Amino acid sequence: MENHIAVDIGASSGRLVWGRIVDGSVCLTELHRFANGFAERDGHCYWNVDYLFAQIMAGLQKAKAEGITSCTLGIDTWAVDYVLLDREGHRLHDVYAYRDDRTRHAMEEVTRQMPARTIYEKTGIQFLVFNTLFQLAVHDREQLKQADKILLVPDYLHYRLTGFAFNEVTNASTTQLLNLQTQDFDTDLLRLLSLDRTQFAPLIQPGTVLGPIKSELQETYDLPECEVICVATHDTASAVLGVPADDGERSVFLSSGTWSLIGMEMPRPIVSEAAQSSNFTNEWGAYGTYRFLKNIMGLWLIQEVQRLYPREYTFERFVELAEQEPPFQYFVDFADDRFLHPPDMIAEIQRACRETGQDAPRTAGELARCIFDNLAILYALAVEEMEAITGTAVEVIHIVGGGSNNRLLCQLTADVSGKKVVAGPTESTALGNLAVQMIAKGALPDIQTARQLIRHSFAAKTYLPQQAGMRSEWIARFTRITKA
C-alpha cells in the first residue's frame, strides 16, 4: 500500500490529507489543518507564504509521527497570486492577495492598449479584475525588472520543497497570459507588461515527478521520505478531477467553496463572442482538457457575514435559520465586484437591496437566505448560458467541496435550475490531488478509473427539483430588479 499526501490550501484554510487505497476504496485521513487568510497592512492585502510553508512542514512531521515513513506529496492552492524571486531565489516582495484593490482600474488600462476581444481570443480567460495580467500591470516596474522568476503560489511552495522552479499549466492559465495556440506565454501580452519570457519558469504538466524534498529540509525536520509530484496545482483543477461524474452523463460541475466555479470539462477551448460576453473562462485542465467555467462569488459571502456575528453562529446555524425564512424575498447580483472585499458585507448587501428599491435583510436568517437564494439563481443562469453556448442539454449538476454539505443551497440549486443535483464528495480537491499522484505512480491507470474509484468510495446525496412552476418567476424577478 502506497501513501500519498495532498497539501490542499484554500483562501480560508489548508490541510494535509493522507490518501491510500484500502480494500478497493480510497481511504482519507486528515493529518493537519490550519487557518489561512490574508492580512491588511499599510493599505494592502498580503498572504503569509512563510506561514504556509511552515504549516506544510508541521503537517509532514505529524505524518511521520503517524508512522508514515515514505510517501508522495502534491500541493494545490488558489490561483492568480504570484511571487517574484531574485537570482538567488529570494522573494522580492510580500505576496499580494487577489482581493487587494490596487487593480481596480487595471482592466481599463490594459484593454486600452490591447482590445479585450484580442486578449480573449489569445487566452480564452474570463476578465476578472484580480487576474495576474492586471496585478502585474500595476506592480512596481522597478521591482518587476529585478525579478528573475515569477512563480504562482503553489509553484513557489514546490520550489521551497525541491529547489525546482516551474509554472504548472492549470494554474498558469489563470494568469490570462498563456496563448491557446502556442501553448506558451503570449509574447504580445508580455511585451505589454514589459516582461520577458525568461522571467517565467518552464511550463510543466500535472503528473510530473519532481523528485525528493531538499536534503537540508530533511536534516532540519523529522520528515517522511517524500517524492514530490506536481499535481493540478490550481485547487479548482484538482477539484474537477475529483468530481465523480460518469463519462456517459451530460453534467456540469460546481466546485463550491470560498468561490463557486461552475462549468464543464471540455476537450478544446471555446472563445466565441458569446462565451466572452457571458464571461466564461477556458482554464487549462489536466490530461489535455479545458475547464469551461464561470467564476461566481461563493461562500465567501456567508463567511464574511459570519465574521460579523458572535462565534456561536456556525455555518450550520446560518443554514438552519435560513430554512425558517420565506424564499426569494431579496434579489441581489452577487456577481458584482462590490462584494469582492467590502469592509462590512452585511452593510453592502443591505445597501444593494435599498439601491434597487427593496427592503433590506436584517436578521442572520434573512441575510443567509438572501445569499443562498441568489447564488442558486446565478448557478441556474450560468447553466442556461453553458447550454446555449455548447449546445449541450445538461442533466446533472455535480456539487463538490464544502458547499455540498449545505442542504438548503443544494436543494435551491436543483429547484432554480430544474436539474438533478448530486452533492459530494466534500473532499473533491484533495481527491483530485491524490488521483494525479496515484496515476503518476502507476497505482491507477487513468483519470476515468480514478473517478470510478471515487464514486465507489464516497456516498453522494441526490436532490431533485421541486416547485418547478416557480423557477421562471424567480429568475424573471431577479433579472428585472438587479439589471434595471
Rounded Cα distance, 276 and 316, in Å: 37
Q: Which residues pair with 13 in a beta bridge?
A: 35
CA distances from 35 to 32, 217, 370 (A): 11, 23, 27
Among 100, 155, 186, 235, the active-site one is 235
Q: What angle do CA 225, 228, 232 make, to 5 degrees?
A: 150
Query: Which three cell numbers, joined as nine digits, stand for 88?
Result: 538567488
Rounded Cα distance, 223 and 434, in Å: 19
Rounded Cα distance, 77 and 11, in Å: 8
- Going by C-alpha positions, the residue among 235, 233, 207 that lies closest to residue 401 is 235
Alpha helices by DSSP H, 88-163: 106-113, 116-123, 132-138, 141-146, 153-162
3-class state of residue 203 by DSSP:
strand
3-class state of residue 103 by DSSP:
helix
Please report where in the chains the cell 453522494 appears, as a residue. 460
Rounded Cα distance, 363 and 367, in Å: 6
Q: Please answer whether residues 76 and 6 qualify as being in contact, where contact means their C-beta atoms are separated by less than 8 angstroms.
A: yes
Q: Please answer whether residues 258 and 304 qualify as being in contact, where contact means their C-beta atoms are separated by less than 8 angstroms.
A: no
- What own/partner pairs with CB < 8 Å and gap ≥ 24 does 128-132 have? 128/80, 128/295, 129/103, 129/104, 129/337, 129/340, 130/80, 130/98, 130/99, 130/100, 130/103, 130/340, 131/80, 131/174, 131/175, 131/176, 132/80, 132/81, 132/82, 132/174, 132/175, 132/176, 132/177
Omega prior to 342 cis, within 30 of 0: no
* The residue count for the chain: 484
Q: Please answer whether residues 220 and 161 qualify as being in contact, where contact means their C-beta atoms are separated by less than 8 angstroms.
A: no
Q: Indicate if 94 belongs to the active site.
A: no
Taking the CB of residue 179, how many other CB atoms lie within 10 A of it? 16
Please report where in the chains the cell 435551491 appears, as a residue. 412
* Residues involved in catalysis: 235
